[in-house]
Amino acid sequence: MTTVIEELLAQLRDLEREGLEAVRAGGDAGALEALRTEYLGRKGRLTGILRRLGELSAEERPAIGAEANRVKEALGALLDERAASFASAADDGPRVDLSLPGRARWQGGVHPVSLVIDEICDIFRDLGFSRVAGPEVETVEYNFSKLNTPLDHPAADMHDTFYLSDGVVLRTHTSPVQARVMEAFQPPVRVVVPGMAYRRDPFDASHAPGFAQVEGLAVDEGITFADFKATISEFVRRFFGADAKTRFRPSFFPFTEPSAEVDVSCRICRGAGCSACKHTGWMEIMGSGMVHPSVFANVGYDPEKYTGYAFGMGPARIAMQRYGLPDIRLLYESDMRFLKQFV
Ligand code: 2NL
């Protein structure tokens, strides 16, 4: 037969084992408080055991009392430790939920017109041209007069040019930059000049009042029309592909003589004729020519000593051909739904 003291010691041992196990498994602060009440509370299991102290002799009581205190402290300490760890976890704020799907990052991209500008300038860099820039607000003198364009020429008309004040305009082409380059540097000169230019045009499917341009200029002793044709044909092959053919058509510009329009064999039908090239088999990509001797004289170059060629193209027009765009306004409206496609 077991004695009462043996029974109480066994109960204390069980209570300690079960209690420690339950506290270790306790999943949150609330569960721990419930366990504290269940085991150590005023009407809890430990109190239940101690209530039987009266059944023991005065000599037996201290041993059970001491053991009960030890169990109470062990359980209490573990409860405090676990509760503290939950409290500090809560202080860290919301936990990171690693199962959430990632948020897409904002992706910047280069504008399609800038892509074309950079590609053009990179090709000409390989052909020996430097890239330069200049002011968008220009004087009438640099925008028209130095370029052999009389002020009664239709291009200089108030109707076609944004005049800011007497003698000051938004440049109608980037050519004034080349004039400034020639005044600042002696030949040989080889430059490409990308930038915005402005003309008083209606904003429609094929015109924009502000548009990007890339012009080029090469000046040296002995430059001929053959150099010009070879350089432009090489550019066309590198930009449009090895099988792209180049065609030069007579034209007129006040600042070049002779002048030519440059066409490339249609990239869509390969010259057979389609709606993209209006059934001609060719797409116009630039205006060009040999620099007019008067332009050289105007910037202080000796027209008897130097010759050169110049050209101008619209990268937005080329972007329209390349990406099959029906309307130039898509390239100048900054609509993210359109531009996102080029990221
Ligand atoms: C076009 C035609 C052209 C030039 C630009 C130029 C510049 C100097 C001297 C001579 Cl400084 N010419 N530039 C020459 C021919 C054509 O542009 O249709 N541009 C979009």
CB of 288 sitting under 6 A from ligand 1: yes
Tell me if 19 sits within 8 A of 48, measured CB to CB.
Answer: no
236 strand-pairing partners: none
Phi, psi dihedrals of residue 126, rounded to the nearest 5° = -65, -25
Q: How many other CB atoms are there within 10 angstroms of residue 145's CB atom?
A: 16
Can you read off the two tokens belonging to residue 276?
């993209």
Start-end of H helices in 41-60: 45-50
CB of 197 sitting under 6 A from ligand 1: no
Q: Which of 241, 51, 218 is nearest to 124 (CA)?
A: 218
| Separation of alpha carbons 241 and 258, rounded Å | 27
Best of 288, 296, 313, 320 to mutate for ligand 1, by most ligand atoms within 8 A of CB? 288
pLDDT in tens, 46-62: 788 878 878 878 888 78
Alpha-carbon torsion (283, 286, 289, 292), positive or negative: positive
Can you read off the two tokens belonging to residue 108?
């910047």
- Atom 6 of ligand 1: nearest residue by CA position: 310
pLDDT in tens, 112-168: 999 999 999 999 999 999 999 999 999 999 999 999 998 788 777 777 899 999 999
pLDDT in tens, 71-99: 888 888 877 787 777 777 666 667 788 88
Name, in order, each residue with C-beta under 8 angstroms of 310's C-beta and a sequence gap of 6 or more.
Answer: 175, 178, 215, 216, 217, 218, 255, 256, 288, 289, 290, 291
CB of 174 sitting under 6 A from ligand 1: no
End-to-end CA separation in angstroms for the chain: 87
